A = this chain, B = another copy of it.
Amino acid sequence: MFIKNLPHKTVERLSQYRRALLMILSKEKTHVFSHEIAQMLHITPVQVRRDLMLIGYSGNLRKGYDIKELIELIGKIIDSERGQRVAVVGLGNLGKAFISYFKGKRSKLSMIAAFDINPEKINRVFDGVPCYHINQLPEIIKQNNISIGIITVPSEQAPEIAESLVLSGIKGILNYTPKPLNVPAYVYLEEYDMITSLEKVAFFAKKNDERFK
């Protein structure tokens, strides 16, 4: 299912809605109100309703939104119909955290492979995901039609890993390294840095503190 020009922020929230809905889904509770979703995510009910409007979903005026239906619809919109395959490069603390968190989650996304350079990790299976030597990356990526790569190697290695991923035909990269990467325009790149998040919290915590004093 395709909806033209869904705003970036809406896409992000749809993913969050789904996560939150999966969490409260149960036999007893089949419906949910916009203000309930809103409260969970610390946003306004209007925002929720507007997002759902954009994806063309209508709730029941008296009961709210059908949780199961909504989860499915969100899937139809943000997931790729044929599924997408994912690999993690760098099976250290962060790589492991990701894989173990990912395990057992829903999905059209499947975690297919990990890569590392450390012999102790290679040819072993971590949380259901096999780890290969980094040299095998191009081969495995192509063979399995993996389209998304997550980079969690030490930052100095990040650029060469990114290049290798791109050359192997990857379509999207999620970079957890603080090293800024350069990729062609047809590859979608997202970067995240924990310290930026922390500094943001620090800044607004300090500001809040002054305000509420």
Q: Which residues does A use to contact B, with CB under 8 Å? A: 8, 11-12, 15-16, 19-20, 23, 40-42, 78-80, 84, 86, 92-94, 96-98, 100-102, 105, 109, 147-148, 150, 171-174, 178-180, 185-209, 211-212
User: How many Å from the CB of A152 to the closest CB on chain B?
Assistant: 8
For the complex of A and B, the 4 pairs showing the least CB-CB separation, nearest first, are A172-B205, A93-B97, A171-B205, A172-B201
9 A-B contacts (beta carbon < 8 Å)? A8-B200, A12-B200, A109-B198, A148-B205, A150-B198, A172-B202, A172-B204, A174-B201, A190-B201
Task: Give every chain B residue within 8 A of A195 (Cβ-Cβ).
Answer: 15, 19, 101-102, 105
For A147, A189, A205, the residue with the greatest tally of chain B CB atoms inside 10 Å of its CB is: A205
User: How many Å from the CB of A153 to the closest CB on chain B?
Assistant: 13
B93 & A100 in contact (Cβ 8 Å cutoff): yes
User: Assuming A15-B196, A19-B195, A109-B199, is B188 touching A204 (CB within 8 A)?
Assistant: yes
**Nearest opposing residue in chain B for A213, CB measure:** B186
Instruction: Out of B15, B79, B100, B179, name the residue touching A200 (CB < 8 Å).
Output: B15
A211 to B102: give the CA distance in the assembly, Å.
29
B42 & A209 in contact (Cβ 8 Å cutoff): no
B196 & A19 in contact (Cβ 8 Å cutoff): yes
User: How many Å from the CB of A159 to the closest CB on chain B?
Assistant: 12
B200 & A84 in contact (Cβ 8 Å cutoff): no
Task: Give every chain B residue within 8 A of A148 (Cβ-Cβ).
Answer: 198, 201-202, 205
User: Assuming A178-B19, A195-B19, A202-B84, is B208 touching A188 (CB within 8 A)?
Assistant: yes
User: How many Å from the CB of A18 to the closest CB on chain B?
Assistant: 8
Task: Give every chain B residue within 8 A of A189 (Cβ-Cβ).
Answer: 42
A80 & B206 in contact (Cβ 8 Å cutoff): yes
For A11, A93, A98, A100, the residue with the greatest tally of chain B CB atoms inside 10 Å of its CB is: A93
User: How many Å from the CB of A193 to the closest CB on chain B?
Assistant: 7
Instruction: Knowing that A15-B200, A93-B96 touch, tell me 19 more A-B residue pairs with CB under 8 angstroms.
Output: A12-B196, A15-B199, A19-B193, A23-B179, A40-B180, A42-B191, A79-B202, A93-B93, A94-B97, A101-B195, A109-B199, A147-B205, A147-B209, A148-B201, A148-B205, A174-B198, A186-B209, A187-B208, A190-B197
